[in-house]
Every structure is written in C-alpha cells, then in structure tokens.
Structure 1
C-alpha cells in the first residue's frame, strides 16, 4: 500500500501570536512550530496501516526551507520519504493544487491529511484535492480500516457517527480518535537524517485569496463573582453584559 500524508507546519498552540506591518504580516519571532495536531493523527494511522499491510508512507508539505525540521520529525516518526513543495502556503487552493500534482503522478492508494490546519482552520484542502484529482474526499474521519481494496470508515456527523465504505484510492481528512500520536525515538531520529527529502518547485502560482490584515481576539474581561443568593444579578449580567441569554 502506497500512502501519502499531507502535513502542515504550524505554530504550537502555546505560542504567543503577534503581527507586524500594521497587522498585515504574521510575526514568526520566537514561535515554536509543530506538525499540525490533526496531521499527527493521520500520520500515526498511516504508520499503523503500513505495519499491517506493508508498503510505504510519504509525507508532503507545502512550505519553505524552515519547515524541514517538522518534515524530519515526520520521518523520525516512521514515514519513509518526504516531498517539500518550495513555496509559502498562504492560500488553500494553491496548496491543494500542489498536493494534487503530486497525487496525480504518484499512484497513491490512500491520501491522508488532518481535518484542518490549526493556523487557518479552513478545512478546505482535502475537498479541493479530491475535486482536482477526481477522487472521493471524506472528512472528518474518526476510524479507518482497510480490507483489500475497500476502506471502512467512521465519520463524525452532527448528533452521531456515519459508517461508510469506499474503494481505494480516496482522500481522508482525519481527526481523533483515529490513532494515538506517535513520539519519535532516538533510532527514528537518527534514521530520519538519511531518509530522502525531495524538494520541488510549485507547479503554479495561482491563488484565489489574499490576506488583507490580521486581528487578535479582544482581551478577556474581568471575572465577576456572584454568591448563591444573587441569582437575579447573575441572570441580568448574563443577559445584558455577556449577551448569552
């Protein structure tokens, strides 16, 4: 089985985010980067499927040279090789185009990615790739098992789960609890240094969107405390100040 896993290079959720140039550019200073958490789930499941069925796992990232430590971590976790598209991933359609070009040429049986990245939270790329390459795209996938040329899936829907079957190849946007995150061991880290990383130039520069400016959420307000005998005051505060009633 030949599996392609798409990974993002995103700020750690504990990083303090700030912007420059009148809030038009993201400031990467002192920001720690990680594999996108949803991508971590898809990578972990890909490694498990490789162990069960044989084959190979390739990771792909659309990003510039600073993303390579993140790619090497994915290789240390167990991916066999990696592809980096040498471009700044500022637009979902642009990213989807780059992934689609690799999918078309790679004859992959399965393409996995996170349900969304945690920087832009668009949740669009898997659907776009599916449309560009003519494959089914299913998200968010919580369970994935392969039997022959058929995949059995559980997908989260409002109020429950949906059980699906689909023929390979297809694209899945993954989330927990599809697998448990894997932590690279020392042997994996050493082996990752020797695994191939193929750097390619983008196939196009077409983008559908442009970032005008960024805005931070408003700061949290002061906490108001109400005693047990002040329920009327609590209700009025929720209604008139918090606007939740």
Structure 2
C-alpha cells in the first residue's frame, strides 16, 4: 500500500508577515516549522505502516528549498522518502493553484492508495488544499476523521467528528483522509529517525518536471488574489501605570481608577 502525506512548512505563529504589495506570505528570513496539524496526518500514516508490512510513506510538500526541513521531519517521524515541489513559478499560489500543482506531482509519483493531509495550515487557515487535491485526483474525501477503523486494499472505514457527535463512513480507495488533532498524539522523533532523515535524498521537482504551465500555477494560475492588506487599529485610549515608584503605589493608582468609575462596593462597617 502506497501512502502519500501532504505536509507544509509554515512560519512560526509569532513571525507571520504579509507583503502589503503582493498580498502573499513573506517566508524569507523568518522562523519556520512543520505545520502542527500536519503532524497528526504523518502520525496516522506511520501507525498504518507499523500495522501493515506492505505500506510505504512518501511525504510531499510544495515551497522554497528550505521546505526540505518539513519533509525531513516527516521522514524522521517514520516516512520512507520525501518529495519537494520547488520552483519560482509556484510562488504566490492560492489554494486552488497549490492543489493543482500537488495533484500533478502525486500523479507523477503515484499511484497512491491512500492520501493524508492536515486539517488546515496555521498560516492560511483555509482547510481547502487537501479536499481540492483529492477532487482533482478523483479520490474520495474523508474530513474531520477522528479514527480509522478499517483499512483494506479496496476501502477505508473511518469515524468522523460531526456537529453533535460522530458518524462512521466508508469510502473506496484511493481516498484522502484528513484527521483532526484528537485522532492521535504525534510522536517525538528518535535519534535514529533524525539521522535517517538527514541522510535521506529528498527529490526536488520543478514546474518543468511535472509539465506544469505557468498559467496553471503560482500567482498567474490562482483564482483568487489578495487585493488589500489592513491591520487592526486600537481605538480605545489606554493608560499605562508604571511600577517605578513601587508596587503599592501602582496598586493605589489602579484602585483610584476603580473608585472614580464607581466600580467598587464600599464595605459595611462591622
């Protein structure tokens, strides 16, 4: 059984920046990490591999060359090999163009019996790439999966988290399984896993390698574009109370504000 796991390298949450001119994410010179929700997809794939001797896992990502770090992390967790789509032509792709590019690469590297992807990426929060990729590949989509009950050579049965409870559904393979974080607890990478990932050859594919025309990917191939970037403005007037004169003085200032606004109840005399 061949399994493909889609992973993405994202900026660390506190370093997310947007280019105001292009409306795209600034990825150069910022701390990056493997998308946290993708860890649950990798963990699910590795557990399947541990239960089935015929299973192999390929971690697939799209991004700059630095995104090899995310692919290697998936290999350190237990994936067998990795594939990175990296080309300036892919830059600025929206969810549709990204899914289209990933689907083309999956067809080239496949066929795969099972696909897994994270619920969403922390830098975009759309949750669209996994399902869109499956649609382009003609695969079933099983989202919000909290457990995989059965997996055979022809079908997969899962438990989905839905509003008000859970439901059990079956789908023919190939299928895209998108787990929720409650599905599992991602493992920590072992030393041997890290050493194996360091030595692993991550295959790099460009637009030409997957016969991707410029109008199909990147900004040109995107159906949506960010036309304006704005930042929230603080509209309330605040007052900062410093503790330079001591904590007691600062507390006294705060209590005076409460008293002036009649926020305190006077204690009755005993």
TM-score range, shorter chain: 0.7 to 0.9
How far has the Cα of 1:122 moved from its partner? 1.0
* Counterpart for residue 147 of structure 2: 143
Name the CA distance, whole Å, in 2 between partners of 1:50 and 1:217. Answer: 46
The 8 Å contact of residues 109 and 169 in structure 1, kept in 2 or not, is answered as yes
Tell me the CA shift for residue 219 of structure 1.
Answer: 5.2
Secondary structure of 1:193's aligned partner: helix
| 2:233 is aligned with 1:214 | no
CA distance in 1, matches of 2:27, 2:235: 24
Whether the 8 Å contact between 2:23 and 2:225 is mirrored in structure 1 is no
- Structure with greater proportional strand content: 1
CA distance in 2, matches of 1:17, 1:196: 29
- Alpha-carbon distance change, 75 to 147 in structure 1, aligned in 2, over 3 angstroms: closer
1:120 matched to 2:119? The reply is: no
Give the corresponding residue for 1:177: 182
- Cα 1:217–1:72 shift into 2, 3 Å: farther
Given the alignment of the two structures, is residue 40 of structure 1 paired with residue 39 of structure 2, yes or no? yes
Query: Contact 1:116/1:173 (CA < 8 Å) preserved in 2?
Result: no
Q: Is the 8 A contact 1:23 1:214 kept in 2?
A: no
Residue deviations 1:31-51, cap 9 Å, x none? 321111111100011001001
| Displacement of 1:9 | 0.8
Deviation at 1:88, TM superposition (A): 2.8
Q: What CA deviation, in whole Å up to 9, does each residue of 1:82-133 have, x standing for no partner?
A: 1111133631111111221133330111000011111111111122122211
Deviation at 1:228, TM superposition (A): 8.6
Aligned residues: 228
Q: Which has the larger radius of gyration?
A: 2
Gaps of 5+ in 1: 230-245
State the SS of the aligned residue for 1:37. coil
Q: Distance in 2 between matches of 1:22 and 1:208?
A: 18
TM-score w.r.t. structure 2 length? 0.75
Structure 2: runs of 5+ lacking an equivalent: 240-256, 266-270
Distance in 2 (CA, whole Å) between partners of 1:220 and 1:181 is 42
Question: Separation in 2 of the partners of 1:99 and 1:83?
Answer: 10
For 2:66 and 2:194, the matched residues in 1 are separated by 18
Q: Which residue number in structure 2 is paired with residue 232 of structure 1?
A: none
